[in-house]
Each structure stands twice: as structure tokens, then as C-alpha cells.
Amino acid sequence: MFTFVLLGGLYVLSTITCGYASWGNPDSNVKNQANEFDKPSTQPHIIFILADDQGFRDVGYHGSEIKTPTLDRLASEGVKLENYYVQPMCSPSRSQFMTGRYQIHTGLQHSIIRAAQPNCLPLENVTLPQKLKAVGYATHMVGKWHLGFYRRECMPTRRGFDSFFGYLLGSGDYYSHYKCDGPGMCGYDLYDGEEAAWDQARGVYSTLMYTQRAVDLLAAHDPRRPLFLYLAYQAVHSPLQVPVRYLERYKSITNLHRRKYAAMVTCLDEAVHNVTLALKRYGFYDNSILVYSTDNGGQPMAGGSNWPLRGSKGTYWEGGVRAVGFVHSPLLLKKGTRCRGLVHITDWFPTLVTLGEGMLEEDLQLDGYDVWEAISEGFPSPRQDILHNIDPIYTKAKNGSWKAGHGVWNTAVQAAIRVGDWKLLTGVPGYGDWVPPQTFSAVLLSNRWHSERVRWDRGKSVWLFNITADPYERLDLSRRFPGVVKRLLLRLAHYNKTAVPVRYPAKDSRSNPQLNGGVWGPWYKEKEQEEEEGGATCSPTGSTRGGARRSGGGSRRGPSETSLLAGWRRARASLESQGSQAVPACRACLFHCFFGVLWDIWTW
Ligand SMILES: [Ca+2]
């Protein structure tokens, strides 16, 4: 159903309806057409569209029942990334996209940045928009940030974006733009720049709202100047909300979660269609590179599907980290192809900065590779391995040990690494079932749903798979190839020597939106920020003091002294056992790490 909204009587703008747009009078954007006598920039426009929680199978060209004609067409006309990896959750993927660096190198290796934590993407990291801005790009962000905001310097507009319209958090209500993070912790979460956008788009579905803003930005921008548009949709993360007309297309899906989710994906597909139309209409398309990516695997409990991959969002199985992704651009030299080389979300930083004619200084210490030739021309990818992560405070494998790790690695620690065809996992990788399509029956998802359940493997803390031969991780080869296991464990240990301390401060009750005018937003005052910057720090990131100092906040009951000491000892033993730089020089950091353990146990 197409709905049309007249804006100013100039042209028909149907993006706000989330229908596939048909455009009105093309002469109405004369002011934005490049003057043929003006020399256009050779730097390409970069449009990076990040979907939230879209599963591996939740795109038409992966065999889904969900209809995504736009994504299918854009991908088939461009290059499909079929060996493409992201991180298993929101903040980790976004941090790596923004910096081109692994989590062990930013301090964000544990979980997500939670709403009430005084934490954000460490300020000393140079961001992708900063690099592009330095070489003349206009930089705009629309959508979900989720990289922290406890102090104003963490806001997107202070991290390289000329403008920001969106959520600082994400996963709030799609219409009201309110987000709750526990009892009594609810607030408005829609910003325009650094101020709450109280009067804008109240009651408008966020997929439509963000598309509208993206189109407005394109309409207002001179295409002779290079543009970087980071469009990070809230869709298709839970809560499962969608305009009702999209549900009608999926009457055949009897499972209500899956049906709503499918409708949300199709609305997103239409939104991407409307953005691409605007690229053409306003003179950007011919010199544009559009990247489409999801940020992590799907969550089956919320309607997502990663079948036939194992696991889901939040895990280091392929279903958590192997992503939907493609590049669509007239600038691709070989279109209509599949890129089977390894590509990781850290690779966008060097790839896009190079395409934008920016500089990649050595002190950026990037973990990403420039993969443009692999994508555009089909050359082998320069990337041969991926450190999926090392999380030194996630040590829940009860039977993990140094012995199981051949004396070079404590397998209690959650870690995952890919080297060539091989993938090694240690610790507890997360929920590891397969969720076949028939799981989504008329019965609501519950009771761990299906016949592909993995029996709990007591005592197991190491897995090895040949992902090329066995992409579904059904055959553990760790006992058959102990030499390969040891080689990959040594690689993990080598990476771990380069790790920085984990930033995972405790909840700060002053973050409560009710203390901040009903809005989620920066709660540190200027004086505190100066103290934080001026005081002695425990780490190169200078990051952990604030959170540890303010650890008393929060509504949860406090732990007993016994558990406090035990947690402290576990955190210290874990860190020391890894021989990591994560062993802080001062007790405040250990205190912080210990709180992180408790926090994780309570909130995971
Ligand atoms: Ca996500």
C-alpha cells in the first residue's frame, strides 16, 4: 500500500510512509544538481547502512521466506560478501567499525556499553568520521549510536560527525523513542545534535523517521562535496514493532514473533530502496559506495534466524558473527560477484579512509585491512585471520584450565579466533544450538524450542572447526588435530599480550533519566570530567577510574563480603593467568574488574 505525503507542494515524498517510493518532478532539486562547469570531487560518497540484529538467513538471497527485493537487487548488482564477519553484539561491532581496531585494543572487550555505565568508546581512538572529515567529507550520522554518552565528549558530534539524529542507546520503543533500562530507569532517547529532539517525529516509526532524515540530508547536501552518511537503523532489533500493513504480507507465517520480524525486515528493505532513490535523485549515485551490513547475528527468541549456522546473537558461533553484508557501487570494477575472501568489520576503516583519499598513519594501530581490491576486483583478501575476541573477565568455563590449553592458554577464558580455514573457541562461546526454520511454528518460541539442541558438554572448553569444510560447526576436530589447536592457542596468547585493560565500570545511579530532565544523556559535569582527565589512571586508556569510583550506584542488592573477595580474586587470577597487560597497576582497576564480573553475572 502506497501512501503519499506532500511536502511543500514541491514533490511527492513517500519515504515517510516506508512504501517503495516513486518520485515526483525531478526538476525540483535543481539547486542540488552538480553544475557541469564545477569539478566534482573524485572522493566517493560513502553511505554505510548498518542493520541491527539481522540474522544470516534474514535476507532474501540467503533463502529466506522474508521478502527483501531491494537488498537482493542491490547485492546482486554489486558484490555479496559471503565470508564477512562482525562482532556478536551491538557496541562491540560499532566500536570496531568506528576505530578499525579489535576490542582488546580499545578496552571494550566485555559485553556492551550499558545505559547506566560511565563508559564510552575511549576518546583517544581516532574515529572513521574524524578521518574522513579531515579530508573534506561532510559527515552525518542517523540512527543508533550505542557507544556511550556519560560525558558530552562521547557524543557522536564530538567523535567526528557534523550532525547526529538518533538514539544514544537503541532497543527502545520504535514509536515513542523511550528506552527503559530497568525499573525506574526510563527516559527519552532521541537526539538532534546534542539536544533531545522532543518535538520531532513523536510517534513516527524509527525506520521511517531515520529514512526521512537521510533523504533530507541528501536533499540539502551539495553532491560536489564528498559525503559520509552513517545510517544505523534501529531495525530489526527487538522490541518487535512494525506498522500493521507490513504484517499483512506475512499472513502465511504463523509464528507471531517471526511474522513481526519479517515485516520489520521488509520495511527496512523499502527504506533502503528509498535511500537509493534519493542518492540517484540528488546526484550522488554515480560517485557513491553503498555498504550494507548487519551488526551481529539474529536472535531467534526475537524472530531472527541464522540457519543453517550454529548459535545466535551474543555468541561466538558462526550464527553470532557471520554477517549479511554487501557493497553496491557504480565504482566497483567487477559487479555481480561474490567475495569469498575473509572480510571483517574492522576492515571498513582502512578501506573507506583509503577510498576517501585519507591518510592511515601507523599510530592508528589498526587491526583492519584495506579490502577494496578483494571486493572490487576479486583479488585474494589480505586478511588471513580474525581475532573474534578475548574477554578476560568472562571466565565461566568451570572445567577450563591451562592443561586443556596445552600450557599456553587458560581455556576457562572466553575467546575465539579464526586463522585460515580454522576456527578455535575456548571458554563458554555462548548458546550453541541450531535453530532450523521449522522452529518457527505456530507455537510461541519457548522452552528452547526444537530438535537440534546440543547436549551440555560438561568439561569441554576447547573446540576446533574447519569453517571452510564445515561452516555449520557440526564436527569438533580439537582432539583429532591437537597440533592445530596448540598453534591457534599460541596465536591467542600472542594477541593477548597486546591487550589493554577492560573498561567495564559499574552502574552509576546518576545516569537515571529522571535526574536529567527525563532524557538519557551525559550526566558527568564539567568538573568531574576535568578530575577524570587530570587524575592518575590505571591504564593507557585512562578509563576505569570514574566507573570504579562510582560503583555504589544502582538499585540491585549488594554482594556479600565473601563474594566480593572471591570475585576480586577471580578477576585478578584470570587477568594474571593470561599474562595480559590487563593486570592493572592499581587496586582501583581490580576493583573495577571485579564489579564487572558481578555485573555480568547479574545482567547477562
Ligand atoms: Ca545488534
What's the pLDDT tens digit per position in 152-169? 999 999 999 999 999 999
504 in Cβ contact with 593 (< 8 Å): yes
pLDDT tens track for 344-365: 999 999 999 999 999 999 999 9
Q: How confident is the model at residue 572 (pLDDT cuts 50, 70, 90)?
A: very low
For residue 520, pLDDT over 80 is answered with yes
pLDDT at residue 226, rounded to an integer: 98
pLDDT at residue 5, rounded to an integer: 34
Residue listed under C-alpha cell 564545477: 38
Burial class (CB in 10 A: 0-12, 13-18, 19+), 264: buried
pLDDT tens track for 470-495: 999 999 999 999 999 999 999 999 99
Residue 311 Cα to ligand 1 middle (Å): 15
For residue 440, pLDDT over 90 is answered with no
Residue 296 Cα to ligand 1 middle (Å): 5
Q: How confident is the model at residue 528 (pLDDT cuts 50, 70, 90)?
A: confident
pLDDT at residue 491, rounded to an integer: 98
For residue 604, pLDDT over 60 is answered with no
pLDDT at residue 456, rounded to an integer: 65
Residue 235 Cα to ligand 1 middle (Å): 9
For residue 540, pLDDT over 90 is answered with no
SS3 category, 186: strand
Q: How confident is the model at residue 537 (pLDDT cuts 50, 70, 90)?
A: very low
Could you tell me whether strands 5-7 and 11-13 are parallel, antiparallel, or unpaired per DSSP bridges? Answer: antiparallel
State the CB neighbour count (10 A cutoff) for residue 225.
13
Residue 52 Cα to ligand 1 middle (Å): 4
Amino acid in the structure at residue 300: P
Q: Mean of the pLDDT values across residues 383-395? A: 97
pLDDT at residue 441, rounded to an integer: 75
Q: How confident is the model at residue 283 (pLDDT cuts 50, 70, 90)?
A: very high
Per the DSSP assignment, residues forming a β-bridge with 414 are 391
70 in Cβ contact with 269 (< 8 Å): yes
Q: Mean of the pLDDT values across residues 65-76? A: 98
Residue 532 Cα to ligand 1 middle (Å): 30
For residue 500, pLDDT over 50 is answered with yes
pLDDT at residue 450, rounded to an integer: 55
Q: What gap in Å lies between CA 246 and CA 243, rounded to an integer? A: 6
For residue 451, pLDDT over 90 is answered with no
For residue 458, pLDDT over 80 is answered with no
Of residues 309 and 584, more confidence is placed in: 309
pLDDT at residue 41, rounded to an integer: 80
Q: What is the CA radius of gyration of the chain?
A: 23
- % of the chain residues with pLDDT over 70: 78
- Alpha helix positions (H), 313-416: 318-321, 348-355, 372-376
569 in Cβ contact with 591 (< 8 Å): no
Residue 333 Cα to ligand 1 middle (Å): 31
Residue 459 Cα to ligand 1 middle (Å): 30
Q: How confident is the model at residue 439 (pLDDT cuts 50, 70, 90)?
A: confident
pLDDT tens track for 255-276: 999 999 999 999 999 999 999 9
pLDDT at residue 202, rounded to an integer: 77
Mean residue pLDDT across the chain:
84
For residue 452, pLDDT over 90 is answered with no
For residue 522, pLDDT over 50 is answered with yes
Residue 98 Cα to ligand 1 middle (Å): 15
Residue 394 Cα to ligand 1 middle (Å): 20
- % of the chain residues with pLDDT over 90: 73
Q: What gap in Å lies between CA 386 and CA 321, rounded to an integer? A: 11
Q: Mean of the pLDDT values across residues 580-592? A: 33
Q: How confident is the model at residue 449 (pLDDT cuts 50, 70, 90)?
A: low
pLDDT at residue 199, rounded to an integer: 83
Residue 489 Cα to ligand 1 middle (Å): 28
Q: How confident is the model at residue 19 (pLDDT cuts 50, 70, 90)?
A: low
Residue 136 Cα to ligand 1 middle (Å): 30
For residue 562, pLDDT over 50 is answered with no
Q: How confident is the model at residue 28 (pLDDT cuts 50, 70, 90)?
A: very low
> Mind listing the domains of the chain with CATH numbers?
386-496 (3.30.1120.10)
Residue 417 Cα to ligand 1 middle (Å): 21
SS3 category, 287: helix
pLDDT at residue 534, rounded to an integer: 62
Q: What gap in Å lies between CA 140 and CA 154, rounded to an integer? A: 16
For residue 596, pLDDT over 50 is answered with no
pLDDT tens track for 100-115: 999 999 999 999 999 9
- Residues noted as catalytic: 90, 146
Which DSSP string corresponds to 338-353? EE-S-EEGGGHHHHHH
pLDDT at residue 593, rounded to an integer: 34
Q: What gap in Å lies between CA 219 and CA 214, rounded to an integer? A: 9
Q: What is the DSSP letter of 545?
A: H
Cα 367 to Cα 105, 314, 441: the distances in Å are: 9, 22, 42
Residue 416 Cα to ligand 1 middle (Å): 19
Residue 91 Cα to ligand 1 middle (Å): 8
For residue 423, pLDDT over 80 is answered with yes
Of residues 559 and 317, more confidence is placed in: 317
Residue 410 Cα to ligand 1 middle (Å): 29
